[in-house]
């Protein structure tokens, strides 16, 4: 088991709002968001779709505009490959990246060993698209919650410093993993998106202990992004 580390929290990061915006947009549209949100948010999440379109230059573009980069490629491979890919991503300036907790202790350690200061690995436990029947179909017979907690524990023991969590797991995770940075997607501003069955408002997720939230469509799909942004800020008691 790794040594317990000092608790990370969003106050240790240099951010205007503890919000990560998911750049799940075609590049033309995504560029507008860089201008709109410069200086307002911690940074952007880059997933596999945008990364396949733009390649590693997307990291450089975002960093040159002062954004932090959360690379969400969910690594899951043999330990040597994941460790080296993590090192490469961090050497290119990535701030956070994700790995699958189910990659096992050695893979998790290989990624964790590459963490430096504020360059963190975050572990994904059970994807929210999976239900109990899906777990059973791959011969996992634990309850979803037990499985989730087991993978979160494995990740923490390996030295991984952050967890991706759903808003509803926050209470449990805050108590069980007080040293982990909790990054929470599945949040909304007005109403949850149709496919977000267990979403919470951003303000409520932060109140329940999220260190950062990940937000996408609540901003992109708003009729007027500036009004939506102001609504978000006023729900958090800040003006921007």
Catalytic residues, which ones? 74
Distance CA 196, CA 8 (A): 28
Pick out residues in 121-140 that bind ligand C5P (CB under 6 A).
128
Does 94 bind ligand C5P (CB under 6 A)? Our answer is no
Map tokens 């290989």 to a residue: 110
Of 144-203, binders to ligand C5P (CB under 6 A) are 166, 185-186, 193, 196
| Cβ pair 170, 209 in contact under 8 A | yes
Return the residues of window 2-31 that contact ligand C5P according to CB under 6 A.
22, 24
Residue partners of 198: CB distance under 8 A and separation at least 6: 128, 166, 167, 168, 186
Determine how β-strand 120-124 pairs with β-strand 162-164: parallel
Question: Measured between alpha carbons, how far apart are the two ends of the chain, in Å?
Answer: 43
Give the nearest distance from C-beta 70 to ligand C5P in angstroms: 10
* Residue of this chain nearest to ligand C5P (CB atom): 216
How far apart are CB 188 and ligand C5P at their closest, in Å? Answer: 7
Backbone angles phi, psi at 231, to 5 degrees: -60, -45
Residue closer to ligand C5P by CB (options 103, 186) is 186
Look up residue 190 and give its two tokens.
Answer: 């007005």
Residue that the structure tokens 């979803």 belong to? 144
Q: How far is the CB of 4 from ligand C5P (least distance, A)?
A: 27
Phi–psi pair at 129, nearest 5 degrees: -80, -10
Binding segment for ligand C5P (CB under 6 A), chosen from 102-110, 143-151, 211-219, 223-231, is 211-219
Q: Which residues pair with 70 in a beta bridge?
A: 45, 96
Pick the binder of ligand C5P from 43, 83, 201, 216 (CB under 6 A). Answer: 216
Q: Please identify, among the stretches 111-119, 132-140, 216-224, 230-238, the one whose residues bind ligand C5P according to the rule CB under 6 A.
A: 216-224
User: Which residues form the interface with ligand C5P (CB under 6 A)?
Assistant: 22, 24, 45, 47, 128, 166, 185-186, 193, 196, 214-218
């Amino acid at each position: 088991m790794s040594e317990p580390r000092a608790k990370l929290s969003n106050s240790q990061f240099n951010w205007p709002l503890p919000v990560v915006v998911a750049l799940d947009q075609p590049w033309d549209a995504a560029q507008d968001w860089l201008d709109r949100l410069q200086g307002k948010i911690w940074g952007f999440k880059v997933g596999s779709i945008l990364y396949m379109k733009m390649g590693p230059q997307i990291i450089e573009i975002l960093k040159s505009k002062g954004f932090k980069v959360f690379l969400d490629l969910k690594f899951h491979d043999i330990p040597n490959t994941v460790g080296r890919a993590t090192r490469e991503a961090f050497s290119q300036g990535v701030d956070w990246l994700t790995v699958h907790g189910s990659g096992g202790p050695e893979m998790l350690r290989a990624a964790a060993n590459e963490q430096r200061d504020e360059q963190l690995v975050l572990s994904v436990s059970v994807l929210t698209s999976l239900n109990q029947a899906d777990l059973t179909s791959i011969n996992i017979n634990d309850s979803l919650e037990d499985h989730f907690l087991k993978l979160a524990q494995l990740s923490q023991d390996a030295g991984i410093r952050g967890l991706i969590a759903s808003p509803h797991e926050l209470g449990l995770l805050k108590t069980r993993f007080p040293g982990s940075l909790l990054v929470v997607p599945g949040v909304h501003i007005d109403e949850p998106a149709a496919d977000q069955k267990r979403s919470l408002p951003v303000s409520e997720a932060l109140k329940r202990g999220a260190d950062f939230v990940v937000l996408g469509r609540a901003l992109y799909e708003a009729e007027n992004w500036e009004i939506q942004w102001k609504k978000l800020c006023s729900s958090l008691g800040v003006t921007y």
